[in-house]
Every structure is written in C-alpha cells, then in structure tokens.
Copies of this chain bind each other. A is one copy, B any other.
Amino acid sequence: MNFASDNAGGVHPRIMAALAAANEGHVPSYGADRITHAAQDRVRELFDAPEAAVHFLTSGTAANALALSLLAPGWGKVFCHETAHIQTSETGAPEFFTGGAKLVGIPGIGGKITPEALAETLVVHGREGVHAGVNAALSLTNATEWGTAYSPDEVAALASIAREAGLGVHMDGARFANALAGLDVAPADLTWRAGVDMLSLGATKNGCMAVEAVVIFDPAKSEEFGFRRKRGGGLVSKHRFLSAQVLGWLEGDLWLQLARHANAMAHELALGLSRLPGVRIDQRVETNSVFATIPRDLHRRACASGICYHLWPHTQDETGEDPVSIRLVCGWDTRLEDVEGALRALS
C-alpha cells in the first residue's frame, strides 16, 4: 500500500504495448521519425493548438528548467509559489538552465498564488533595471504541490496580471492530467486560452515510463529549445520510444481515465481518513493527493502496517511531533482494495 508518490507506480499495459509496437525496424533517430511526428500532432490536436511546438524529454525537472530558460534570462526573476517544485525540489535546475535567474517564492494557501499576492509581489519587485534585474516569468504548478487545482479563470486572472507586467507564463503540469480531470475542463482552456505560454506536460507519473512534454504555444519562443535541450543532455536518441509512450497515453483518452481514477482513489482515501478519530484533512482534495494531520499513534500503526507515505513537510521530526502532517498520493494504479485495505488497517 504505497502512497508515497505517483513516481513509485509502474507503466500502464497499453503504454507498454505501445512501446512494443514501436519496436519495429530502423527509423530516424533524435525525433525525426514518424511516431514522434504523430505524437506531436496528437498533442497539438488535443490542445487545439496547431502551431504549438512540442518536445519530449525524460524528466520533469528538465522540462521545467528548459521551458523557463526560454522565458527568463540570467538576470531575470521567476515568480512562483513558495512551495513550487521548481523552487523546493529541483536542486537549482532552473537557475542552472537559465544561467542564474532568481526564483521568487510567493506564499499562498493550498499551494495557490492569489491575484492579490501576485500583484503585491510585483510591486515589491517593481524596481527593474540594471541593479535589480527584470521580472521575467510566472510559473504556476497545476495541479499544485498541495493537490489543489487552479481553474481556467484562476489561471487567466494570474496570467493577465503577469502579462500586463511583461512576464511570460509557464505552467508546471507534472500532474496536469489530474488537474484537467479534477476540473473537467479542456486542455486549451487551462493553458493558452487562459494566457499560458508554455506547459510542462507530465506523463511519467500518470502511467508512462519516462516521458514529459514541453508544449510551447507561441512557436516563436521555441527556436532555441532544440539547442538548449541537446546541450542540456536532454535529447534522447531513440526518440520513438518517448513518442510511443505519449501516443499510447493519449490514445482513447487513456491519460484522462488514469487521472480520473487516481483522483477518485484520493477522494475515497480522504473520505475514509476523515472518519478516523483525530484525523484532519488539511487540503480540499481536488486531484490525486491527500494532505492530512493525524495522531502520532495512528502514524505508527500505519508504518507498522506497511502503509507508505511521506511526512509533509519533510522537515518534521520523525520521532517527536504529535500530531504529524502527512501526504498520501494515489496513482493510476492505486487499487480501491489498496485504499480500503489501508483504511481498514488504520481503523
């Protein structure tokens, strides 16, 4: 019963099948093959964005950092939530790929930046120029690091402030499918129609093996991408095997089905947890993560029963605090019986 991360899961059988099917004969490498073109077309179609540039990579950190490097120079500032993955968990990759841009964390409940907070931060960082640098980009994680999701209107409100201030808008969509499924909206509505310039579209967590896409809605901003990906070591040679994953994942809306299932499991889990004595659900469950505060006794029991999850934030004292705050993540392959089994073990 592993709720530690959606990275702990495996690959969906239909995606394995797509990989097997792609393993035929010789094809051009580095993305010049037909499977890659088909996958790129399919992404463009799903996003209703015929002009978008679509690039595949094997890591979300690379996707985010490369996308940001198109938006922010080394003397730029990137505004993001203070708990954004790019700020807390990417070891300086955005700084490395941009050549030194500064990430400015904005606080906000539930992992979300409010328009007010963004506007206020832009005032505080209003002095641009040779000593202060330039305000370059806004990066929104959707679904957020706290399992919530920005709606199209929320994205649009933030992007509008950002664009007014001359910022490009990036969306870290490591769990974009979960956000789409949770909100039940169209990909275009949550991205370019709401003012997003670039999306890191995560597929790995949601049933793939290792593939993320960067979707650049304004292709003029895409010219450098190929050079930056290659010199960043991110260009995979037998490219068809990235693209085949993407095709299999999108085929027949598998990606949304998997995301919906993961979200449903998280709701189920939260519901069950909320009924346990002393348990508090800390965030509204909008996608596939559950944040809860639970008595230390219960935590001990969970660990003893082989129920895996992370303390959240990580800096809690593993032995001392009571209650403890935890994060549980459901994936495309979390089974209802896993959830029920976990709840039973804790009751």
Q: Are A96 and B74 in contact (CB under 8 A)?
A: yes
Is B226's CB under 8 angstroms from A130's CB?
yes
Chain B residues with CB below 8 A from A27, complex form: 8
Interchain CA distance A23-B17 in the complex, whole Å:
12
From residue A81, how far is it (CB to closest CB) to chain B in Å?
15
A2-18 Cβ-contact flags toward B at 8 Å (1 or 0)? 10110111110000100
Asked if A75 contacts B228 (CB within 8 A), the reply is yes
Docked CA distance A95–B57 (Å): 21
A250 within 8 A of B: no
A210 to B89, CA, bound (A): 24
Say whether A59 faces chain B, with CB atoms less than 8 Å apart. yes
Chain B residues with Cβ below 8 Å from A279 are: none
A186 at the binding interface (Cβ < 8 Å): no
Determine if A4 and B28 form an interchain contact, defined as CB atoms under 8 angstroms apart: yes
A314 CB, min distance to chain B CBs, angstroms: 4
Instruction: Give the CA-CA distance A124 to B313 in the complex, in Å.
Output: 8
Contact indicator A204/B8 (Cβ below 8 Å): no
Q: Interface residues of A, CB < 8 Å — how many?
A: 83
| Main secondary structure on A side of the interface with B | loop
Closest chain-B Cβ to A85's Cβ sits at a distance in Å of 9
A22: B residues at CB distance < 8 A: 10
Contact A241 B29 (CB under 8 A): no
Check if B25 sits within 8 Å of A7, measured CB to CB: no
Whether B61 lies near A233 (C-beta < 8 A) is yes
A130 touches B57 (CB 8 A): no
Contacts of A10 in B (CB 8 A): 22-26, 238
Q: B residues within 8 A CB of A106?
A: none
A234 within 8 A of B: yes
Docked CA distance A127–B229 (Å)? 18
Is the beta-carbon distance between B96 and A92 smaller than 8 angstroms?
no
Give A210 to B236 CA distance when docked, in angstroms.
7
Asked whether A305 is an interface residue with its Cβ less than 8 Å from the other chain, the reply is no
Cα A331 to Cα B238 in complex, Å, equals 13
Q: Is A91 an interface residue (CB 8 A)?
A: yes
A interface residues with partner B (beta carbon < 8 Å): 2, 4-5, 7-11, 16, 19-20, 22-30, 57-63, 65-66, 73-76, 88-93, 95-97, 99-103, 123-127, 130-134, 204-205, 209-210, 224, 226-238, 241-242, 308, 313-315, 331, 333
Known: A26-B308, A91-B132. 10 other contacts (CB 8 A): A10-B26, A16-B19, A58-B236, A62-B232, A75-B92, A93-B232, A93-B233, A125-B315, A130-B227, A209-B241
Contact sample, A vs B, 30 pairs, CB 8 Å cutoff: A7-B30, A7-B238, A8-B29, A10-B24, A10-B238, A16-B23, A30-B131, A59-B233, A61-B230, A61-B231, A74-B99, A75-B227, A75-B230, A89-B132, A91-B130, A92-B133, A93-B232, A95-B95, A96-B100, A97-B233, A100-B231, A123-B315, A125-B315, A126-B314, A126-B315, A130-B226, A204-B238, A210-B241, A232-B232, A234-B234
